[in-house]
Amino acid sequence: MSIEDKIEERARKAHELEAKLSDPAVAGDGRLVGRLSKELGALRPFVELHAEWAKARADAAAGAAMAADPATDPEMRALALDEARAGTETAAALFERLKRLLVAEDEDAQRDCIVELRAGAGGDEAALFARDLFEMYSRLAVRRGWKLEILDGGQTDLGGVKEMKFSLSGSGVYREMRYESGVHRVQRVPETEAAGRIQTSTATVAVLPEVEDVDIEIRPQDLEEDFMRAGGPGGQNVNKTSSAVRLVHKPSGIVVKCQDESSQRKNRDRALRILRAKLYEARQEELHRTRSEARRSQVGTGDRSEKIRTYHFKENRVTDHRIGFTTHTLDRVLQGELDDLLHALAEADLEAKLKDL
């Protein structure tokens, strides 16, 4: 499929969404209307630019046709040629902008996301680093106006995080957070290190686009559900009520457990949200495997085993190994000031995708 075909396909998708929203059968489903409206809203800039591009091409074609007409007098022919040149130049500039929008805004860009954060190698220090990453993302969420909701997980006795799942919702959340998936490495003197030696520890981040049940269908017969008492430190309901929920999706083998809420129903709802996101991620990975090898040239693979970034405290340095980006503002990055880093990652990914086109 040519680039022009891909552009036209994206424009057709917007018109199809408009048609669906006008369908009385759809209007009665509030959740579906909300999802379709969000998709259409994300496509608006593309649709408007596409309309400008189509007009510029039409103007160029009209000017060229008039200039080629033997009946056109010399003065009008000159004006028509000017119109054709101007239309062609405008169309070419708009085409480049359309290409950037085409690869920058995929179907998942405007989705909310679920983040899974796990301590890796390094014992208690890894758990403390995982806590620092959670606080970094929490501050980023405040800066962006996103809503953060903890779905499962808590702190260790030392205040660290062994494992935590949380959701982020707002405008363009997944578009910005998608590059955070992978292994994050810290090099610093741990709080518990009396000799002042630098230790290397890791934490793993997985960012999953959040999907609705209309995107991923989970059949009741495919689920195995277990209800148990919550474990670990916590409130008065811990080990007293069977509020913890464990879901096993039998076809895929994916297991999800939630226990933070005292309500069994709330834990089950949260577990289903996480399970849908995991199933969608697995489906997308399968699609990527069947597509061209060009995906390897993009920024990161989204693989949670890939070491993506180092946080070096002594040098106040953050280095993203995928694009060779380094900033000596670690203190500000940990306060949620990731703008320069996220922008550099997005631009590098965009350039790679444009080359793939």
Q: pLDDT tens, 107-127?
A: 788 889 999 999 998 888 999
Q: How confident is the model at residue 310 (pLDDT cuts 50, 70, 90)?
A: very high
Residues 6 or more apart whose Cβ sits within 8 Å of residue 309: 182, 184, 185, 318, 319, 320, 321
Q: What are the phi and psi torsion angles at 355 (to 5°)?
A: -65, -40
Name the more confident of 227 and 239.
227
Strands in 317-320's sheet, in edge-to-edge order, are 147-155, 161-169, 113-119, 199-209, 182-188, 307-312, 317-320, 325-327
Residue-wise pLDDT for 23-50, tens only, equals: 888 888 877 888 788 778 888 888 999 9
Residue-wise pLDDT for 53-78, tens only, equals: 999 999 999 999 999 998 888 899 99
The C-alpha atoms of residue 136 and residue 121 are separated, in whole angstroms, by: 20
pLDDT at 88 over 70: yes
Q: Are 205 and 115 in contact (CB under 8 A)?
A: yes
Residue 347 token pair: 């631009």
Name the more confident of 50 and 222.
50
Residue 38 sits at the vertex; the CA angle it makes with 297 and 222, to the nearest 5 degrees, is 75
pLDDT at 287 over 80: no
The C-alpha atoms of residue 88 and residue 279 are separated, in whole angstroms, by: 46
Residue-wise pLDDT for 314-346, tens only, equals: 999 999 999 999 999 999 999 999 999 999 998
Question: Which of the 8 DSSP states describes residue 294?
Answer: G
pLDDT at 51 over 50: yes
Q: Are 244 and 259 in contact (CB under 8 A)?
A: yes
pLDDT at 238 over 80: no
Mean pLDDT of the chain: 85
The C-alpha atoms of residue 84 and residue 62 are separated, in whole angstroms, by: 7
Name the more confident of 235 and 181.
181
Name the more confident of 10 and 30.
10
Residue 118: Cβ within 10 Å count: 20
Residues 6 or more apart whose Cβ sits within 8 Å of residue 315: 328, 330
Given phi > 0 = left and psi -120 to 50 = alpha, else beta, which region is 68?
Answer: alpha
